[in-house]
Amino acid sequence: MMTIENMRVRVGLSETDNSKDQIIYDNVDVAISLVEAYLDRGILSDNMNEKFTHVDADSIQLFRYPIVPGSVMMIDPAELKFHVDEKNGIIKFDGQIHEHKVTVDYEGGYVGDLMPVVLRTAVLRVFDVLGLDFASKPSSGDVGGISRISVPDVGTIAYNSKSSAKEGENDFIDNTTKFLLDPYKRKVV
């Protein structure tokens, strides 16, 4: 569970030290935003108002899902007949529709602890990459710390710096995190 107490400990603070809470909250928001951008969908519960123009289809994909159980969904034009795949956020119309504009009001995304552990783990991995660590001391050398130390008759120690990422690599979402996230990507309908 991502409680503020757990996040404080994660960044090297005591469980009760609330001096950096706003920075922690901001970085959690950034991590969630990066994950949502990668997934091309919203994951946290929120009320939504989505507008679709020139709809010539038998279904539309909502941005934020799953649809919150028990929440009210309203579609305009109201005369449209439809069914909802709540898990995947897909509205399936009873046949092909041809509408200039369709508006959908709904509540979607994971509520509280209902977010799958895999998604929570991915968000935490991205949070960790953001580098919030209040317990460590500033490093020496270039951006990533020590670049190279050579001791005669002993050997050489070298550390890769953070600036050594290959061109085009995503600095925030590594391959393992992508592997965790890929099953949750927005589906094309």
Do both 102 and 180 map to the same domain?
no
Handedness of CA 60, 64, 68, 73 (dihedral sign): negative
pTM of the model: 0.76
CA quadruple 155, 161, 167, 169: dihedral sign? positive
**pLDDT per residue as tens digits for the range 110-151:** 998 899 999 999 999 999 998 776 665 444 444 444 455 556
pLDDT at 1: 62
Contacts of 83 (CB under 8 A, 6+ apart): 91, 92, 94
Identify whether 189 is part of a domain: no
Please write the tens of the pLDDT for every residue from 15-61: 999 999 999 999 999 999 999 999 999 999 999 999 999 999 999 99
- Each residue of 146-175: pLDDT tens digit? 455 556 655 555 545 444 444 444 578 999
Q: Are 146 and 159 in contact (CB under 8 A)?
A: yes
Instruction: Give me the pLDDT at residue 181, please.
Output: 96
Secondary structure class of 144 (helix, strand, coil): coil
* CA proximity to 76, closest of 53, 43, 108: 53
Question: What whole-number distance in Å separates Cα of residue 130 and Cα of residue 144?
Answer: 13
Q: Name the residue with higher pLDDT: 59 or 2.
A: 59
Q: In terms of domains, do 118 and 180 share one? A: yes
- Based on the fold, state whether residues 118 and 27 are members of the same structural domain: yes
Which residues constitute the domain of residue 98?
A: 46-108
Give the model's pLDDT for residue 189. Answer: 67
CA distance 113 to 93: 31
Note the pLDDT tens digit of each residue in 60-99. 999 999 999 989 999 999 999 999 999 999 999 999 999 9
Residues 174 and 155 in one domain: yes
Question: Distance from first CA to last CA of the chain, Å, rounded?
Answer: 32
- Give how many domains the chain has, as a whole number: 2
**pLDDT recorded at residue 172:** 87
Same domain, 170 and 132: yes
Q: Are residues 101 and 115 in the same domain?
A: no
**Do 134 and 158 reside in the same domain of the chain?**
yes
In a domain, 9, yes or no: yes
Single out the residue of 121, 135, 101 nearest to residue 176, CA to CA: 121
